[in-house]
Amino acid sequence: MTTGIVESLNAVLKNARDLPVLQLVEELRNLLQKWFVTCQQQAMSMSTELTMWADGELHSRYNMSATYLVEPINSKECNVNYASISAQVNLDTRSCTCRQFDLDHIPCAHAIAACRFYNISCYTLCSKYFTTKALLSSYSECIYPTGNEIDWVVPNHIRDKVVLPPKTRSPTGRPRKVRISSGGQGKHTSRCSRCGQYGHNQKTCKRPIP
């Protein structure tokens, strides 16, 4: 998951990475400012208790559990049967033997069937991080522009500090702009914009012009 987030951010900043450090940081700040505003507006437009994704997922599982049969064990535990497959649900510990409830922290179809049997709202068993309130609080802070450099108030001990470049040795050749594909990913094949064939580009195309 972390690798995917980093790769997505690198793709957005692909062109900005060629800028000087100060411009790169400003581009990143501006990007985060836009993202925060967009996420704030999306969260404020939600009228449901859970976020749109979580609410849709819960409704989908609710429809799936319509034909499940519940066999109570006690006031919090039960056995849920469907198509000769059973799962044991514990509403007190918010767990199910199918493990979906444990991993997603959203009631699975078995847990929703148990909630319906015990007359318990399945919304109360969802993690608080899937609520619209939690989403709003995540983006409640604002990212402000840095303003004009002449208006900055920089302390003297920061202004007098000399920052030297790191003692590193740059590798030979041009720096890579395209990441190395990880295991399991197919190799991208270029397509010629001149003849439409794969395996070469327009500059190296040797096919006659139709």
pLDDT in tens, 37-89: 999 999 999 999 999 999 999 999 999 999 999 999 998 899 999 888 899 99
**Hey, which of 93-107, 172-186, 188-202 has the most confident mean pLDDT?**
93-107
Mean pLDDT of 179-193: 68
At 112 the pLDDT is 95
Query: Among 28-37, 98-107, 110-119, 179-188, where is mean pLDDT lowest?
Result: 179-188
Alpha helical stretches, state H, the chain: 2-12, 21-44, 52-64, 100-104, 109-118, 132-138, 156-159
The CA distances from residue 126 to 1, 69, 111, 205, in Å, are 22, 22, 11, 58
Which of the pair, 8 or 35, is modelled with greater confidence? 35
Which residues are CB-neighbours of 71 under 8 A, at least 6 positions away? 78, 79, 80, 81
Which residues are CB-neighbours of 64 under 8 A, at least 6 positions away? 109
Q: Confidence class of residue 187 from pLDDT cuts 50, 70 and 90?
A: low
At 181 the pLDDT is 67
Q: What digits encode the pLDDT tens for the residues 1-32?
A: 566 777 778 888 888 888 888 888 999 999 99
Q: What digits encode the pLDDT tens for the residues 105-147?
A: 999 999 999 999 999 999 999 999 999 999 999 999 989 988 8
At 118 the pLDDT is 93
Task: Read off the pTM.
Answer: 0.66
What b/e sequence results for 5-16 when a residue is b if at least 16 CB atoms lie within 10 Å of its CB, and e otherwise?
Answer: eeeeeeeeeeee
- Contact in structure between 207 and 199 (CB atoms under 8 Å): no
